[in-house]
Amino acid sequence: MDAVARLTSKGQLTVPKAIRDALELHVGDNVFFRVEGQVVVLARTPDLLELAGSVPVPPAARGRSWEEIRAAAWAAQWEDGGE
């Protein structure tokens, strides 16, 4: 799908309706921009609450604080030679 938008004097763009519909964008949604050479990729960023439960938590990490998990990961990395 191709679409064209005009840049305003304030540096703003209106995302064309066809693109908003294709990406299921709604008022208040965040979008992600990536520059690849002379091309910009626009993507809808997921709602983090929608991701809840999508990544399995290993039994050893359940009930531990984020700081404990990070410390264990760093320790394991150094035990493996720091790579």
pLDDT for the residue numbered 54: 72
Q: In a structure prediction context, what are the per-residue pLDDT tens digits for the chain, which is 83 residues long?
A: 899 999 999 999 999 999 999 999 999 888 989 999 999 999 888 777 666 777 787 887 788 888 988 898 898 888 766 55
pLDDT value at residue 51: 67
* Integer angstrom CA distances of residue 43 from 7, 29, 48, 56, 76: 19, 11, 15, 25, 35
User: Using CA atoms in the order 61, 64, 70, 76, what is the torsion angle rounded to 10 degrees?
Assistant: -50
Report the pLDDT value the prediction gives residue 37, as an integer from 0 to 100. 94
CA distance 74 to 83: 11
Distance between CA atoms of 57 and 51, rounded to whole angstroms?
13
DSSP class of residue 17 equals H
